[in-house]
Chains A and B, each alone.
Chain A
Amino acid sequence: MQARHLLLGAAMLAAGVPALAVEGDAAAAKAKLSMCIGCHGIEGYRTSYPAVYPVPKLGGQHPQYIVRALEAYKAGERSHPTMQGIAAGLSAQDMADLAAYYGAAQ
């Protein structure tokens, strides 16, 4: 199993495929949304920490941009306590799935 993953990784590297390019599945995101919808799924919801302002609308955003934002939170490059905490538990596949879900046109 491990060896197969390594082989796959080596093949991807050889082919010049970026390691983070994961195909997102919007349907698979449905099981991963519970931590998102409590803020991003409520019209006009406002964060109260560290500052009071409305959480951003995600619907229709470029999926690649959503993935980049989540990666930046996970890496600590973008600071928001809640989002850093949530992104820390997301795999590359989770991020791609959530991005595919939120990035879909209305």
Chain B
Amino acid sequence: MKMPPRPALGAVAILLAAVLGAPAQAGGDPQRGKEKAAVCAACHGEDGNSPTPEFPRIGGQHEDYLFQALQDYKQGRRKDPIMAAQVEALSNEDMADLAAWYARQKGLYVKR
């Protein structure tokens, strides 16, 4: 088994990343996001392509944009009674994971 050359340096880097942790950075885990998305599917559809116009499609949206939207709901910059309640229990990691999952689904596209 090949060991990484400088494990101590690696640990320092991980620690630094955790301490400095950029909240604006998404980089979530899509598989974990899928597991956390069950409650979202009720309105947004399983893959983020909501079946009714009452709720926006989010499948295929930019990962950072989804993360930002969740942050904005949580901090009250964006107001919606349903979403405000949904994000209450979400951590930054949850939001990153959800954003990673929905961004990888087919759906929205850049229209010129």
A interface residues (Cβ-Cβ under 8 A, vs B): 37, 40-44, 51-65, 69, 77-79, 101-102, 104, 106
Contact = CB atoms under 8 A, between A and B. Distances in A.
Main secondary structure of the interface of A (DSSP, over half): loop
Contact of B62 (A42, A52, A56): A56
B68 interface: yes
B46 to A, nearest CB: 16
Contacts of A41: 110-112
A59 B108 contact: yes
Task: Give chain B's interface residue range (CB within 8 Å of chain A).
Answer: 20 to 34
B53 A42 contact: no
B110 A43 contact: yes
Main secondary structure of the interface of B (DSSP, over half): loop
A63 B53 contact: yes
Given A61-B57, A78-B78, A53 B64 contact: yes
Nearest to B51: A62
A57 B53 contact: no
B55 A40 contact: no
B56 A62 contact: yes
A58 B32 CA distance: 26
B6 interface: no
A24 to B, nearest CB: 12
24 contacts: A40-B110, A40-B111, A41-B110, A41-B112, A53-B24, A54-B64, A54-B65, A56-B61, A56-B62, A58-B111, A59-B109, A59-B110, A60-B57, A60-B109, A62-B52, A63-B53, A65-B54, A65-B56, A65-B57, A77-B79, A78-B78, A104-B111, A106-B109, A106-B111
A101 B40 CA distance: 27
A69 B78 CA distance: 12
Given A54-B62, A60-B108, 18 more contacts: A40-B110, A41-B111, A42-B110, A51-B24, A54-B65, A55-B65, A57-B60, A57-B61, A57-B108, A59-B108, A60-B107, A61-B57, A62-B52, A62-B53, A62-B56, A79-B77, A79-B78, A106-B111
